[in-house]
Amino acid sequence: MTDFNKECLNALLNKEKFDEFMRTQLEEGLDQLLESELTAFLGYDPYAREGWNSGNSRNGSYFRQVKTQFGPIKVQVPRDRKGEFHQHTLPAYGQHTDTLESTVIQLYSHGVTTREISDLIEKMYGSYYSAGTVSNISKQVVSRVESYHQRQLSDKFFCVYLDATYIPLRRDTYQREAVY
């Protein structure tokens, strides 16, 4: 059994350990992927002789933080001397993974309010999304939600389920009455 398998089995017993394990593996994997992407762009390996006086070479890196479902990770993005390298692994200016955004869209399409979504994301993933951010993300799906609500029902439906809201009313006594 490899060290990776042993670490994975130990991490599965505890959620915090598993999230930390996945974060480190994701960071290492993305760093290696970005480094190999720069190598493919430049056409030579790091410290290779063909790279000397080639006109473009490696020029350090910068760190970028991305929020994932396992928590925030810090990715090291390499650069080239001329500034021509544009990586394609991470979306430009993106600070969140698509998993969080798709979760927001799913919750919004099911009628959950933006403030409730913001609280849920913070509790589930530890990432803070303001209600405005949730609103901006949910604007992507507004047209689909509206078309869903305005669609024509098929003739195959023979039963319609109605829901009611109970409002407190004071007539002879204090009661809650259903409003459909």
**Whether the model pTM is above 0.75:** no
pLDDT at 79 (0 to 100): 87
* Contacts of residue 134, Cβ cutoff 8 Å, sequence gap at least 6: 104, 108, 114, 117, 118, 121
Per-residue pLDDT of the chain (180 residues; tens, 9 = 90+): 567 667 766 666 766 777 788 888 888 888 888 888 888 888 878 877 777 777 788 878 888 888 777 778 888 888 888 888 888 777 776 665 666 677 777 777 777 777 887 787 777 666 677 777 777 777 766 777 777 778 887 777 677 677 888 888 877 776 788 877
The DSSP bridge partners found for residue 81 are none
Q: Where are the beta strands (DSSP E) in 13-138?
A: 58-68, 71-80
The helix/strand/coil state of 72 is strand
Lookup: tokens for 55: 């006109």
CA distance 109 to 45: 47
The secondary structure of 3-31 as a DSSP string is HHHHHHHHHHT-HHHHHHHHHHHHHHHHH
What are the sequence ranges of the domains in the chain?
Answer: 1-95, 97-153
